[in-house]
Structure 1
Amino acid sequence: MRPPVEVSVFLISLLAPGVLYTLNNVLALQEPLPILGVGLVVLGSVLLLVLLTVRHKTNVDPLFYVFAEFSFTCMVGLTNALEQDGFISGFMGFYLRMGEPHLSTAYAVMMSYWEGVFHFVLFLFIIHRMFKGKSYRSLGLLWAGSSIGHQIVLIPGVVVGKYGSNIRPAFWRNVPFFVVPFWAASVLFRRHREMPVVTADKVAEEQKKSLLTRPVDLLLSLLLMGAMLFSVFRGFVVLDCPLDTCFTYIYQYEPYLKDPVGFPRVTMLVYLFYALPLLTVFIYGLKTPGCSWMLDWTIFFAGAMAQTQWCHIGASLHSRTPFTYRVPADKWWPVITLNVLLAAVPALLALRCHSSPTFFMKPVPKGQTNTEKKKN
């Protein structure tokens, strides 16, 4: 009797620490280019094991191979985080020296914990639902947003930060991990969205309500506007705005924004140029009935904000961040509270949209349900 596929993926992923220990202590690689080559061979071998796992299956979802391969790299990330925090040793030394030295930063450690715990559990749950024939579209979009949010900060942060002058060949293994989540997101966005069955009368009744008569949506709109103001303000801060308020904030409240590693600066610019427009259209979606795209984009955005804020908050407090760049002890509560709210608001918005999606459904002819309209 074959074990469930998610169990096989779990066991394959657990090979990661052993592979890293062997490469670090047995092969003792010391040259940058061979490290990239060996890394590609390892990833190729993992893919072969995954293919053997489902060789008896027919019509395997192509996204399965993405989730299975990424599950292995999640365990690599968790191994790195545990070693950098002193829980284990002897696994990542070779790779940090000649592969990706930026993985020793506080930001990368928090990123590795997120991948090794949140992404890994999410992958196993998605794979379980996939082979049970259940929908995993929303969970997939949550991962896609989280993964894309991670990559658009990591890669530019390495290039423009203090590690930009020490980029080794192994760094370019991030390219497929940057491209694949975009492809996966496009596949998931095109797939059919499961919707509850709601009559036309109920849809019409809900969509007649103004924003002022929907207190939860009104509160969310106000919180989104607050998130917009905070994003604009910190964008100006990292762009060296000469206003006294910006100067005071970066030196007395959140000095991590000027850490030379580059990740916090890139994060704030991503918020300014990408998160800000999305926050704006979400307010429009809460005001305007029938914006069905809210159901997908809110969960995608919630994943991205949760990941980036986890890394940003954790790194600003982590011992691997120099003391002068950490959040001052007397400013801990206001700074952390604002940053937690910035992650929580998109999550609350996504929860609201999915718990009661009637307002965002397309209007349907009277006497029909939204499901019947699709069949016609």
Structure 2
Amino acid sequence: MGTNRATASDSGVKQQDFTDVKIAFVVSLLAWPITYFVDNGITKVHEDKRTFILMAVGFFLLSGTILFVRGLSKRKSWMNHVFTVFAFTCMIDLIIGLELKGYIGGFMSVYLSIGEPYLSSPWGCAIVLFDGICIYVMYLTLIHLVSNSMSWRSVGIYWVSGLINSMIVLLFGVASGKHNPTFCTFLNVPYAVFPIIIAIRLFSKEKETNWSLERIRANGIVFDLAVAVGLVFSIWTVFAKGMLSIGSQFGIFQDLLNHERALLDVNPAPFAIIQSLVYLFYAAPILLISLVYNFRKRKPQFVWELALINGGTILQAQFSFIVTALDFQTPKELRSDPLDWIFWLNNLGLLIAPQLFIWSLYKSNVLTNNGGKQGNKNK
């Protein structure tokens, strides 16, 4: 027709490919028929052999899914394959969570009774729900970034911190709880090992070039003050939870306990206590560093990385705290009142403040027009 039409390739803009994301989504949906078949089929196996068979089936599914994904994906990135397999297991976690909440049945009941019975606790339910919702979305995001040669370092740090925190609390809880580890407990090994491998890879790579040491945009004094207040409040909250976890009887800490009795729940394992100790020894120092650098114009990149680590950790932890405190399975004397505004202030304040600090750093120090330069280096 003689009319020139501008295309994405003509303008130099690369079209984003969602093929691997679609593959991961479809593969994850296979978890529904597979879990139903395995859970109903395992009842035909002798009781003494069920946990071992479940473990063997679990590792077979992990290996088989990797091979299946390698055959479907055009890209030969081992990290993309791992993320896709983990997205598949996230869907299994979502199924577990829905079954524990009573929305579905017959998918993971046998596994929960003999494989990982500690997941039937309120904290265990919170962990699998977080994996099935938040971590699942992170995997799809990571798959999209890696497959399009975009920088995924920041998202990767955020994801890996939340997952490692979850594994620390779960595995230490199992080791100190009333349930003995079973063969199926070893199915958690890949989720403890691979995130560490990927974290080492992320931090050993060259720093991303989209970080500015000097502030390039002002957030406004009101926003900076709001973030500072939130960080101070968060430091107090994590310190109080940590002190309560080691048995402090100070009245100022006991006041918090009146609104969060679930901190005392040690059945079937002291998950909340372990999480509070992680807060005390890791989250509190990072929050303090964040507060120190909040008003400084010069911010080294490690401040951004620490903020991402704390943001992912606290998101996962606070989700677990809130779900556990309100869960119907939590004993009534330990359950929090859903209408208690102090409970919500404490927990949402702690949840939101680190995320606001991340947003503050992103707005003031991240060069958004340079965000994709490091994508290939982290592949």
Task: Give the TM-score of the pair, scaled to structure 2.
Answer: 0.83
Give 1:320-339 correspondences, 5 Å limit.
320-328=329-337, 332-339=340-347
Pick one of 170, 190, 204 that aligns with 2:184: 170
* Structure 1 counterpart of 2:4: none
Q: How far is 1:218 from its partner?
A: 4.1
Distance change (3 Å), C-alpha of 1:226 and 1:196:
same
Describe the superposition over 1:258-283 as per-residue Cα deviations: whole angstroms up to 9, x where unpaired.
11131111111110011111112222
* Structure 1 counterpart of 2:42: 27
Give 1:81-160 correspondences, 5 Å limit.
81-160=97-176
Aligned counterparts of 1:284 and 1:141: Cα–Cα separation in 2: 22
- Quick check: 1:291 aligned with 2:307? no
Aligned counterparts of 1:358 and 1:43: Cα–Cα separation in 2: 37
Say if 1:224 and 1:279, in contact at 8 Å, map to a contact too: yes
Consecutive unaligned residues of structure 2, counting only runs of 5 or more, are: 1-16, 368-372, 374-379
Aligned counterparts of 2:334 and 2:124: Cα–Cα separation in 1: 16
Q: How far is 1:167 from its partner?
A: 2.0
Q: How far is 1:175 from its partner?
A: 2.2
Distance change (3 Å), C-alpha of 1:69 and 1:329:
closer
Say if 1:35 and 1:98, in contact at 8 Å, map to a contact too: no
* Structure 2 counterpart of 1:318: 327
Aligned counterparts of 1:329 and 1:174: Cα–Cα separation in 2: 32
Distance change (3 Å), C-alpha of 1:122 and 1:265:
same
Paired letter, 1:177: Y
Aligned counterparts of 2:177 and 2:306: Cα–Cα separation in 1: 30
**Mean Cα displacement is larger for which, 75-84 or 254-263?**
254-263
Say if 1:189 and 1:296, in contact at 8 Å, map to a contact too: no
Aligned counterparts of 1:151 and 1:307: Cα–Cα separation in 2: 11
- Percent of aligned pairs with the same amino acid: 27
Q: How far is 1:184 from its partner?
A: 1.2
* Structure 2 counterpart of 1:362: none
Aligned counterparts of 1:41 and 1:358: Cα–Cα separation in 2: 43
Aligned counterparts of 1:64 and 1:32: Cα–Cα separation in 2: 30
Q: Could you say what secondary structure the match of 2:301 adopts?
A: coil
Q: How far is 1:306 from its partner?
A: 0.7
Pick one of 318, 332, 335 that aligns with 1:309: 318
* Structure 1 counterpart of 2:198: 184
Q: How far is 1:154 from its partner?
A: 1.4
* Structure 2 counterpart of 1:363: none
**Mean Cα displacement is larger for which, 100-109 or 153-162?**
153-162
Aligned counterparts of 1:321 and 1:197: Cα–Cα separation in 2: 44
Give 1:29-44 correspondences, 5 Å limit.
29=45, 30=47, 31-44=50-63
* Structure 2 counterpart of 1:364: none
Consecutive unaligned residues of structure 1, counting only runs of 5 or more, are: 360-370, 372-376
Q: How far is 1:243 from its partner?
A: 2.4
Describe the superposition over 1:307-348 as per-residue Cα deviations: whole angstroms up to 9, x where unpaired.
110111111001121211111356x21012111110101100
Aligned counterparts of 2:176 and 2:186: Cα–Cα separation in 1: 15
Aligned counterparts of 2:148 and 2:18: Cα–Cα separation in 1: 14
Distance change (3 Å), C-alpha of 1:21 and 1:216:
same
Q: How far is 1:287 from its partner?
A: 4.7
Aligned counterparts of 2:239 and 2:29: Cα–Cα separation in 1: 42
Describe the superposition over 1:143-165 as per-residue Cα deviations: whole angstroms up to 9, x where unpaired.
112111211211112222333xx
Paired letter, 1:346: P
Say if 1:100 and 1:171, in contact at 8 Å, map to a contact too: yes
Say if 2:215 and 2:364, in contact at 8 Å, map to a contact too: no
Describe the superposition over 1:291-311 as per-residue Cα deviations: whole angstroms up to 9, x where unpaired.
221222212221111111011
Paired letter, 2:233: G
Aligned counterparts of 1:154 and 1:75: Cα–Cα separation in 2: 19
* Structure 2 counterpart of 1:273: 281
Say if 1:16 and 1:72, in contact at 8 Å, map to a contact too: yes
* Structure 1 counterpart of 2:9: none
Paired letter, 1:274: Y
* Structure 1 counterpart of 2:80: 64
RMSD, aligned CA:
2.7
* Structure 1 counterpart of 2:351: 343
Q: Could you say what secondary structure the match of 1:253 adopts?
A: coil
Paired letter, 1:176: P
Aligned counterparts of 2:90 and 2:211: Cα–Cα separation in 1: 38
Aligned counterparts of 1:258 and 1:336: Cα–Cα separation in 2: 18
Q: Could you say what secondary structure the match of 1:40 adopts?
A: helix
Describe the superposition over 1:125-145 as per-residue Cα deviations: whole angstroms up to 9, x where unpaired.
221222222222222222112
Say if 1:295 and 1:357, in contact at 8 Å, map to a contact too: no
Distance change (3 Å), C-alpha of 1:152 and 1:18:
same
Aligned counterparts of 1:181 and 1:329: Cα–Cα separation in 2: 34
